[in-house]
């Protein structure tokens, strides 16, 4: 009996939104959602339940120790109200008198429901997001469908002014669907600030217009204190998307960043149909050769039908291995951009390139392009069916200048195979134009 009483007393309170006036009939249910969230807050936490049906929301706020849970993943729907041009459901919004001092909400979960935007009737607009985290500890988004968003489906933000200093810590996004429907969107997930973030088992389809970064955009660019650390992107599927399927996009100069983006793992993802790069790892400002290594690993991914499978610019400390590249005009583009941005301390090994630039009309036909690089190793890669323009034989490895020229130092090319045989010397690589290749530090197979 005592055990039963303890179990009853420790039960998590449940708050059904219909108890607070929500109805699947047409009409704005924001007030009912907010009352349910406030009731959970007053109880010290609880589960806010969304039954089957479609419920409309403008702007609402969740708090600590709260789970928003649908009765049925496909049939419990929260739809953004028509004409809404702001972020819909927020955890720790930027507004409020206590915005600069408010502690992070903790233990927030969104699970087993659908968020529906209104890009079926309204045009693209940035910052019109379905779910926003702005400084959350231990947040989870599991088994959620994000459909038809106009801005981002999920926005993992932070402080947008120096005094806020907000960070997201220990965030899990798992087994979610991001369907942009018509590509009138910005990103599926926009990441401004996150430490210990895992995105796994998700599907990204029909997301991002051609001017947007792409479905998954890590961009700690608003303030120098923003963080992108210990991020894992694994076992996700990307199909028929605009932009770059996975993008690290940093614009703040490295010398001004309080902490560099670092310890990022991208593994076991399937990318098919990116309109630009499959994966782009990009720092726009000049690379600091004395800065800490970024420690980025890209491994065991499959990338098909992207203009360029993978690009790296302005970063130090990247390992790229075990990936399979198919039907891409260019495989890897390393160090492209203005002279001085480049890339350094990059290892590319054990990758497979098949049908790169393949067939008549292809515009490149290069497995790996090295532009402005220092200390780069390319070894044990397997390349087959590489064809250049109009079907002419392509180039396994090309040293080619980008904006402002090109140069390469301390490059090692070892044991790479083309059509089943190991290449040596000039069979393996080609130098384009006025490229400055330091042959004294170039190592190739004998």
Q: What is the 3-state secondary structure (H, E, C) of 132-160?
A: EECCCEEEEEEEEEEECCCCCCEEECCCC
**267 and 300 Cβ atoms separated by less than 8 Å:** yes
- Please tell me the predicted confidence (pLDDT) of residue 363: 64
More confident residue, 95 or 321: 321
Q: What is the domain partition of the chain in residue ranges?
A: 50-441
- Please tell me the predicted confidence (pLDDT) of residue 440: 93
d(CA 286, CA 252): 10
Residue 21's SS3 state is: coil
- Tell me the Ramachandran region of residue 147: left when phi exceeds 0, alpha when psi lies from -120 to 50, beta otherwise: beta
Secondary structure percentages of the chain, helix, strand, coil, to 5: 10, 45, 45
pLDDT tens-place string over residues 143-175: 999 999 999 999 999 887 767 888 999 999 999
| pTM of the predicted model as reported, rounded to 2 decimal places | 0.94
- Tokens linked to 163: 């005094």
- Please tell me the predicted confidence (pLDDT) of residue 249: 92
d(CA 352, CA 354): 6
Rounded mean pLDDT, 272-296 = 87
More confident residue, 386 or 17: 17
pLDDT tens-place string over residues 29-43: 999 999 999 999 999
d(CA 335, CA 346): 10
Q: Is residue 10 pLDDT above 60, yes or no?
A: no
First-to-last alpha carbon distance for the chain, in angstroms, is 81
Closest among 275, 121, 282 to 209, alpha carbons compared: 275
Supply the DSSP symbol for 81: P
Q: Is residue 207 pLDDT above 90, yes or no?
A: yes
Give the strand pairing for 302-304 and 237-241. Answer: unpaired
**285 and 341 Cβ atoms separated by less than 8 Å:** yes
d(CA 275, CA 33): 39
Tally helices (H) and strands (E) across the chain.
Answer: 2, 40
Specify burial of residue 33 (Cβ count, 10 A radius: 0-12, 13-18, 19+).
Answer: buried
- Please tell me the predicted confidence (pLDDT) of residue 298: 98
- Please tell me the predicted confidence (pLDDT) of residue 116: 97
**244 and 279 Cβ atoms separated by less than 8 Å:** yes
- Please tell me the predicted confidence (pLDDT) of residue 200: 98
Q: Is residue 219 pLDDT above 60, yes or no?
A: yes
Specify burial of residue 321 (Cβ count, 10 A radius: 0-12, 13-18, 19+).
Answer: middle
Rounded mean pLDDT, 271-279 = 92
d(CA 384, CA 356): 8
d(CA 359, CA 382): 19
d(CA 215, CA 185): 9
- Domain at 50-441, CATH class: mainly beta
d(CA 207, CA 185): 6
Q: Is residue 188 pLDDT above 80, yes or no?
A: yes
d(CA 311, CA 144): 30
Range with the lowest mean pLDDT among 370-374, 394-398, 419-423? 419-423
CA distances for 318 relative to 292, 315, 390, angstroms: 12, 7, 33
Q: What is the dihedral of CA 71, 73, 75, 80, to 10 degrees?
A: 100
């Amino acid at each position: 009996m005592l055990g039963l009483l303890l179990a009853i007393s420790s039960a998590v309170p449940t708050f059904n939104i219909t108890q607070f006036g929500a109805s699947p009939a047409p009409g704005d249910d924001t007030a009912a959602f907010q009352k349910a969230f406030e009731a959970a807050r007053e109880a010290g936490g609880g589960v806010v339940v969304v039954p089957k049906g479609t419920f409309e929301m403008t702007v609402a706020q969740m708090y600590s120790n709260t789970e928003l849970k649908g009765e049925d993943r496909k049939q419990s729907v929260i739809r953004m109200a028509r004409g809404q041009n702001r972020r819909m459901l927020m955890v720790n919004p930027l507004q409020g008198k206590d915005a600069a001092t408010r502690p992070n909400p903790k233990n927030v979960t969104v699970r087993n429901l659908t968020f529906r935007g209104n890009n079926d009737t309204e045009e693209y607009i940035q910052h019109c997001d379905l779910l926003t985290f702005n400084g959350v500890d231990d947040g989870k988004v599991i088994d959620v469908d994000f459909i038809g968003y106009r801005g981002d489906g999920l926005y993992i933000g932070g402080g947008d002014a120096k005094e806020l200093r907000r960070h997201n810590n220990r965030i899990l996004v798992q087994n979610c669907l991001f369907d942009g429907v018509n590509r009138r969107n910005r990103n599926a997930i926009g990441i401004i600030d996150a430490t210990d973030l895992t995105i796994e088992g998700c599907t990204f389809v029909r997301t991002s217009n051609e001017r947007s970064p792409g479905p998954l955009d890590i961009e700690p660019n608003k303030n120098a204190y923003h963080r992108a650390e210990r991020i894992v992107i694994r076992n996700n599927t990307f199909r028929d998307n605009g932009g770059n399927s996975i993008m690290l996009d940093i614009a703040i100069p490295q010398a001004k960043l309080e902490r560099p983006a670092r310890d990022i793992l991208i593994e076991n993802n399937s990318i098919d149909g990116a309109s630009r790069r499959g994966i782009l790892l990009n720092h726009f400002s000049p690379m600091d050769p004395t800065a800490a290594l970024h420690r980025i690993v890209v491994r065991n991914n499959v990338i098909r039908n992207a203009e360029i499978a993978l690009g790296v610019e302005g970063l130090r400390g990247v390992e790229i291995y075990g990936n399979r590249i198919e039907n891409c005009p260019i495989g890897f583009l390393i160090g492209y951009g203005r002279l001085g941005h480049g890339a350094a301390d990059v290892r590319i090994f054990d990758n497979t390139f098949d049908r790169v630039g393949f067939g008549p009309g292809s515009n490149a036909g290069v497995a790996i392009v090295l532009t402005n690089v220092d200390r780069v190793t390319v070894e044990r890669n397997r390349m087959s069916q590489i064809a250049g323009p109009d079907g002419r034989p392509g180039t396994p490895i090309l040293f080619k200048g980008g904006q402002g020229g090109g140069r390469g130092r301390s490059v090692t090319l070892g044991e790479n195979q083309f059509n089943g045989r190991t290449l040596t010397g000039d069979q393996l690589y080609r130098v384009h134009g006025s490229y400055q290749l330091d042959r004294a530090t170039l190592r190739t197979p004998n």
